[in-house]
Structure 1
Amino acid sequence: MYRDRERCVRAVQARDARFDGWFFIAVRTTGIYCRPSCPAVAPKPENMTFHPSAASAQGAGFRACKRCRPDASPGSPEWNVRADAVARAMRLIGEGVVDREGVGGLARRLGYSARQVERQLKAELGAGPLALARAQRAQTARLLIETSALPMGDIAYGAGFASIRTFNDTVQEVFALSPTELRERAARGRSGRPAAVPGVIGLRLPFRRPLTPDNLFGHLAATAVPGVEEWRAGSYRRTLRLPYGHGAVSLAPAPTHIDCRLALTDQRDLTVAIARCRRLLDLDADPVAVDEQLSRDPQLAELVAKAPGRRVPRTVDAAEFAVRAVLGQQVSTAAARTHAARLVRAYGTEVEDPFGGGLTHLFPDMQTLAGLDPEALAMPRSRRGTLTTLIAALAAGEVDLGGGSDWARARRTLGALPGIGPWTVEVVAMRALGDPDAFLASDLGVRKAAAALGLPVSPGALTRRAALWQPWRAYAVQYLWATDDHPINLMPQE
């Protein structure tokens, strides 16, 4: 979009928050870059330049606006919609792969050479993987500076910087403030607010409005695995298995943001933890684009108008979700939770709940589950075989469901496993891979809603009818499911 100058100028002059994260505006006369919705007086069009990423604006010598904080805007929805190499690279960079494995590691995961990855990212985003990762480190550093009492040396290490000097120079260059000045500025703004909880990082996760949280949090709460997840005090909470350690998160909906509290055993996991939480709640979606497309169908228009901005509840761990999808085949939500809880108690890692609630375990990793005894599983023999085969394939890397995976290949390899049918493939594609066009044509709830709306009910006919909803069929599923009064569609009550 940043190449459409006229459209960008209109968005800036209208302070249109829908375009935050789609592009960034840089102002030649001030040397700063902003998000389109910046509340400051809009500059003259001739003084505006536009960039596809914060890293591109920083690379051109602009510093972040202190008023609108463009580095903290919602991410571009393109990276969750697209399945090409650039989108896969951006998802992996968001998960901290460049910081942990370097550009070479990123390239290997994508199946390209480092030079090819560099060229593709620069052509589309105006910055290479190192610059994009640097911009992300700067944002992580700012969060730690402003929301924690950690010493600056620990923050530099936690944000992924190689040295204190690089940390200081980057913060000063990007924000035009030293780390100490950033902390003092944040402290002044916290007057009258509750004191921070030691060991817990509190932050706000932005999203594009509108957002209807009912089905989003309802689904997570209704399917929560005891010990790993819970709904408590108006928040969804769960444990997290992370690259350097583990953690726990508490997420609660607010009108303009998601209140997020993170407790981590290693601060280096902050970036990936935030990325996973945003992905879990589908916070980088573009609800206006989704709802406009779905509303063109008269059968869906009323559902969309009633509760616009529904999101797709996703996952923080794709392999975990795939296992849980098989556990949930042809059984009730309660039975699926019971099966998963047994696995957790037998094979999960015990942890302490930093929030003082009922979080007791990490969901077991695939290498640990690969050693489970199938005879100990209280389910039909055929499903036991499906589960153990899936776990073995995930543990061996034969099925890749990670952020950099090829969606088409993942569907093929998953569907080739015995006992994995179209419903399981599509629910994994929707919630684990994040494919916005995944469609559960054979799902009982979808077919029931379709019948009530006068839509075709056979999977083939419904799939043909759903062509009108592309590329947002996963969101259409949320609107169809929401016609039922099942707990997954309702905001939990205490």
Structure 2
Amino acid sequence: MAPVAPAPMHTDTERCVRAVQSKDARFDGWFFTAVLTTRIYCRPSCPVVPPKVENMTFYPSAAACQQAGFRACKRCRPDTTPGSPEWNARADSVARAMRLIRDGVVDREGVPGLAARLGYSARQIERQLLAELGAGPLALARAQRAQTARLLIETTPLPMAEVAFAAGFSSIRTFNDTVREVFALAPSELRTRAARGVARQTPGAITLRLPFRAPLTPDNLFGHLAATGVPGVEEWRDGSFRRTLSLPYGHGIAELTPQPEHIGCVLRLTDLRDLTIAISRCRWMLDLDADPVAVDDRLRADPLLAPLVDKAPGRRVPRTVDAEEFAVRAVLGQQVSTAAARTHAARLVVAHGQAIDDPTGGLTHLFPTPDRLAELDPQNLALPRSRRTTLTTLVAALADGTLRLGLDSDWDRARAQLMELPGFGPWTVEAIAMRALGDPDAFLPTDLGMRRAAQNLGLPSTPAALTARAAAWRPWRAYAVQYLWATEAHAINHLPA
């Protein structure tokens, strides 16, 4: 069952005031503080002296602040906060809409396209977003465009006209007006202010920092991605995880480096219009919008899990940049070792993936799309016959749209559809739900590593008994899986040397 939406935090004035007065960074992105006297909005952790309580008002989104006539603070830069954890922890229409807006759907397909993906009318989506976020889809997308524009202004030497269109604005005038309205500075002034403290950029690349809520333990996150990486599509090189990205307007390469206070990110894109979606997918893959304090507090309540949480708090769920890709890889990994799964996937990539150039590393291909894989000859797959049937059936369902996996997926419906396919059992379905669909409550009680870890800790090791015990961990069972997996000496639990 999908998590029930709690009362919006911005409506709890007393709690918001406490967070602002203590400059608590854990609540950055949960809500925004607008100051009635200065007409500026801030993140809760803003370093300036907190305003008087009677001058504070609270909004659930930056877009709502902007619509109410407030400008972004120049000190705390509220437009660069991690996203609200709610949109990753819920599966209702508002949360799915927010994930899609963050992925650039409104800019590419408009509000009708967003509504069609969710199965609602445009008016219904508008009403639901206004009720919960104080802003409709166009305003939310506009706020995101402003953030993308600022990033390009401050981190690239691109002419302002190119920045405007790359950020998704339809005209230079709209771009200039929006930047002035949101940041109270002209685009050229933003660039001048940023030039003093910006590190030198790599030619042909965009270098930025991806913020997250502390704590974050990177070993299982990057270790899992590196250990299961498909040769040619993913690699670990010089302390960074690198992978290719299939994007709406072209393709790209992302280079992600764990740092104590942020994730270093270098993006090389064939079309800068893909910047917003590339950032969104990197954040999604690394689960950077999670609320680790809420997760760890719930899991720590179990006395057998508490030592694991205390030892390495802030574990994230390693996800994927493409849900359809992961579903294919999950089938290839059924009942085989990690090394064998990588070999099977690499063969598909070489045979059907689009070749690309990587001037700074060893990446060679994009992972093949379902349309490309639909053309493969099953006889050429070095897989048992039943596995070939499972793979070809999955690919056909993805290619013709019968099965849709992505940010807009209804988790329960996707599970039911997957279970109807031949060769899909609970392990494969829950692995897809956890790593591709992002369900924070996905659970793998039949997984051998899970059962070994549970037994070693004194937890029940049979699937039924372990599931019963795990009811107390909800809605964060996917994170409990990460803590249990991390007890084993496996490559997925360690940063590569």
Q: What's the TM-score once normalised by structure 2's chain length?
A: 0.98
1:392 corresponds to: 396
Establish whether residue 327 from structure 1 lines up as the match of residue 335 from structure 2. Answer: no
Question: Which of the numbers 401, 409, 412 marks the counterpart of 2:413?
Answer: 409
Percent of residue pairs identical: 75
1:189 to 191, 194, 197: 197
Equivalent position to 1:180, from 188, 205, 216: 188
Quote the residue 1:289 is aligned against.
294
Determine which of 83, 88, 102 is the counterpart of 1:75: 83
**2:344 corresponds to:** 339
CA distance in 2, matches of 1:10, 1:404: 35
Superposed, 1:113-262 pairs within 5 Å as: 113-190=121-198, 193=199, 195-262=200-267
Q: Secondary structure at the match of 1:378?
A: coil
Structure 1 residue 424, shift from structure 2 partner: 0.2
Give the counterpart letter for 1:261 in structure 2: V
**Considering only aligned residues, what root-mean-square deviation do their CA atoms show, in Å?**
0.6
Distance 2:204 2:125 in 1: 37
Describe the superposition over 1:113-141 as per-residue Cα deviations: whole angstroms up to 9, x where unpaired.
Answer: 00000000000000000000000000000
Amino acid at match of 1:8: C
Offset, 1:456: 1.0
Q: Could you give the per-residue CA deviations for residues 247-268 of structure 1, whole angstroms, max 9, x where no partner exists?
A: 0000001111000000111111
Corresponding residue for 1:305?
Answer: 310
Q: Which amino acid aligns with 2:313?
A: P
3-state SS in 2 of match to 1:180:
helix
Number of paired residues?
Answer: 489
Q: Secondary structure at the match of 2:255?
A: strand
Aligned match for 1:370, one of 360, 374, 384: 374
One-letter identity of the residue aligned with 1:387: L
2: CA distance between counterparts of 1:396 and 1:91? 23
Q: Distance in 2 between matches of 1:139 and 1:171?
A: 9
Query: How far apart in 1 are the matches of 2:419 and 2:297?
Result: 32
Q: Which residue of 1 aligns with 2:3?
A: none
Q: SS where residue 288 of structure 1 aligns?
A: helix
Using the TM superposition, give the Cα deviation of residue 188 of structure 1 relative to its aligned residue in structure 2, in angstroms.
Answer: 1.3
Matched, 1:98 2:103: no
Instruction: Give the corresponding residue for 1:42.
Output: 50
Hey, what's the Cα distance between the residues in 1 that align with 2:308 and 2:193? 44
After superposition, the C-alpha distances for 1:343-368 in whole angstroms (9 at most, x for unaligned) are: 000000000014x1101100001100
CA offset at residue 404 of structure 1? 0.8
Counterpart in 2 of 1:20? 28
Paired amino acid for 2:426: P
- Give, in whole Å, the separation in 1 of the partners of 2:404 and 2:450: 27
Q: CA deviation at 1:398?
A: 1.3
What corresponds to 2:428 in structure 1? 424
Of 444, 447, 459, the match for 1:443? 447
AA of the residue aligned to 1:168? N
Which amino acid counterpart does residue 92 of structure 1 have in structure 2? L
- Residues 165-217 of structure 1 show CA distances to partners (whole Å, capped at 9, x for unaligned) of 00000000000111101111110123xx4x21111000000000000000000
* In 2, Cα distance between equivalents of 1:196 and 1:457: 51
Query: Any gaps of 5 or more consecutive residues in structure 1?
Result: none
Separation in structure 1 between the aligned mates of residue 157 and residue 370 of structure 2, nearest angstrom:
36
Q: Which runs of 4+ in 1 moved over 6 A?
A: none
Residue 279 of structure 2: aligned partner: 274
- 1:318 corresponds to 2:326: no
Cα deviation, 1:455-490, whole Å, max 9, x if unaligned, reads 111111111110010000000000000000100000
Counterpart code for 2:127: R
Structure 2: which 5+ runs fail to align? 1-8
- The amino acid across from 1:287 in the alignment is P
How far apart, in 2, do the equivalents of 1:280 and 1:438 lie? 16
Partner of 1:61, secondary structure, is coil
- Show CA shifts across 1:374-395 (max 9, x none): 1111110000100010011111
How much does 1:396 deviate?
Answer: 1.1
Offset at residue 397 of structure 1 (A): 1.2
Q: What one-letter code is carried by the residue in structure 1 that aligns with 2:222?
A: F
Query: Match for 2:450: what amino acid?
Result: V
How much has 1:407 moved relative to structure 2?
A: 0.8
Looking at structure 2, the residues matched to 9 and 378 of structure 1 have their Cα atoms a distance apart, in angstroms, of 61
Q: Secondary structure at the match of 2:169?
A: coil
Query: Quick one: which amino acid aligns to residue 388 of structure 2?
Result: R
Residue 399 of structure 1 deviates from its aligned partner by 1.3
Distance 1:149 1:346 in 2: 38
Could you tell me the TM-score, scaled by structure 1's length? Answer: 0.99
Query: Shift of residue 298 of structure 1?
Result: 0.6
Partners in 1 of 2:51 and 2:401 — Cα distance? 51
Deviations 1:43-85 (A, max 9, x none): 0000000000000000000000011000000000000000000
Q: From 477, 480, 492, give the equivalent of 1:476.
A: 480
Q: What's the counterpart of residue 434 of structure 1?
A: 438
Q: Does 1:29 find its partner at 2:37?
A: yes
Q: Distance in 1 between matches of 2:445 and 2:216?
A: 25
Q: 1-side partners of 2:187 and 2:465: how far apart?
A: 59
Whole-Å separation in 1 of the counterparts to 2:489 and 2:160: 50
SS in 2 for 1:361: coil
Specify which of 5, 9, 15 is matched with residue 7 of structure 1.
Answer: 15
User: One-letter code of the match for 2:464?
Assistant: G
Q: 1:405, CA displacement in angstroms?
A: 1.1
Give the letter aligned to residue 245 of structure 1: G
Q: Distance in 2 between matches of 1:281 and 1:204?
A: 13
Residue 352, structure 1, aligned to residue 357, structure 2: yes
Amino acid at match of 2:301: R
Equivalents in 1 of 2:174, 2:264: separation in Å? Answer: 31
